[in-house]
Amino acid sequence: MNIHPILEESKADVVIIGAGAAGLMAARELGKAGKKVTILEARDRIGGRIWPLSKDEFGYDAQAGAEYVHGEARLAKYLMKEAGMTLIQTQGDMWNSYGGDVAINNERIPNQDELHGKLRELKGDMPIAEFIEKYFPGEKYISLRNSIFGIVEGYDAADPMRASTFSLRDEWLGGQDWLQYRLKEGYGAMLKFLESECRKNGTEIELNKIVREVVIHNGKTNVRTADGNNYEAEKVIVTVPLPILADIKFTPAIPEKLEAARKIGYGGVIKILLKFKSRWWINAFGKDFGEMDFIFSNEEIRTWWTQYPDLIPVLTGWLAGPKSQEFLHSSDEEIIEAGIGSLAKIFKVDNEYVKKELVHAKVANWPADLYAKGAYSYWTPESEKAQEELLKPVDNRIFFAGEAFDRGGEASTVEGALASGREAAKKILNSSLTD
């Protein structure tokens, strides 16, 4: 048994593992209430799956991780207002490029009314692939099946063999307008604001601290890091992504929590940002792509978007769901090549033409990221009970938070992470009153 020598010992009321949106939000709430908080972050930066890039590289506040603000996002919008940030509603044309046919996307799923009818009648949850196979088999529904699987994989980053039909039904038939925004300053700026708020309240944020073990012993909780440091706390909040829970040793063991984490879906995303000399695509093969927002395709890198209405010569590529795993061991250069090849086919130009226009590229291969192992969670038929299990504290000392733990319908988003972090802080403050 390898035991690291203890190089340093630190004490806090609360230790938070992870300096992403959930961890920083929890720290801010606890710090405001006078708690001594230490955040331990494995990376050399804050943010986790929020990853701002240098403005010098792309000409705007580009994001290699989370970028969009979905729906109402009340808590995120409140923070943005507090931080003096600018929210921009997305606009522009959506295009489809399938089998050489390129056309404006009218957003209707084939046989949509029939699909919605069957969804409304469904009494018991099941994976969406099972639902589609049961109710929409055969040649007649090929376009419907392709469209549904494309949405489930591309937008929800989910495996259709696991994704909950009830959850997707709520998403598709919820009756709310599908609104999407982006932050002019990017999510990175919002987390920088949260970081400054945390430090103002005395929170210590330590980077390059890989947590190896969390131990409850003799009424105390100890968090041990790879460099041999020990952090003693009354309470601990674990905010790492779902697959990373298994990389931390918990003593006593928490097999029921790890099993619950496996029952919640967790999808991969590869994101590519390509900066060009010009917006070379806007008049490709005689069509007007000048106001393009998104284009969806069946090429290797399937989805691309612009920064429209800002006329920035950047295209962002997106490959999500099970297909992202195909690039798990690929180099950034290979992924960039796949992106260039996909754009060349979509816009009917030579690869060399795209390469000559390219100025700068960045790849975020989230499935290959050691501290994320993917991008965000998705709901399975087993998720509700699994989430209930994970939200129960261990011995009223170890609490869990993150986008996958949000109970307000915002899981998988930054809003969900912020709300979950705030909820964990409330639980601790309430438990402190009764301890």
| Binding-site residue positions for FAD | 41-42, 211
C-alpha span between 370 and 367 (Å, rounded): 8
Query: Cα separation of 146 and 156, whole Å?
Result: 15
DSSP run (H or E) holding 316? strand 314-320
Burial of 40 (0-12, 13-18, 19+ CB in 10 A): buried
Alpha helices, DSSP H only, in 90-141?
Answer: 112-121, 128-135
What are the binding residues? 41-42, 211
Answer for the pair 162, 25: CB distance below 8 angstroms, yes or no: no
- Give the residue carrying structure tokens 């063991």: 253
Do 71 and 177 contact (CB within 8 A), yes or no? Answer: no
Q: Coil, strand, or helix at residue 294?
A: strand
Cβ(52)–Cβ(187) below 8 Å:
yes
Four-CA torsion 99, 103, 104, 108, nearest 10 degrees: -50
Distance, in Å, from the CA atom of 40 to the CA atom of 432, rounded to the nearest integer, reads 22
In this structure, the strands spanning 204-206 and 180-183 are: unpaired
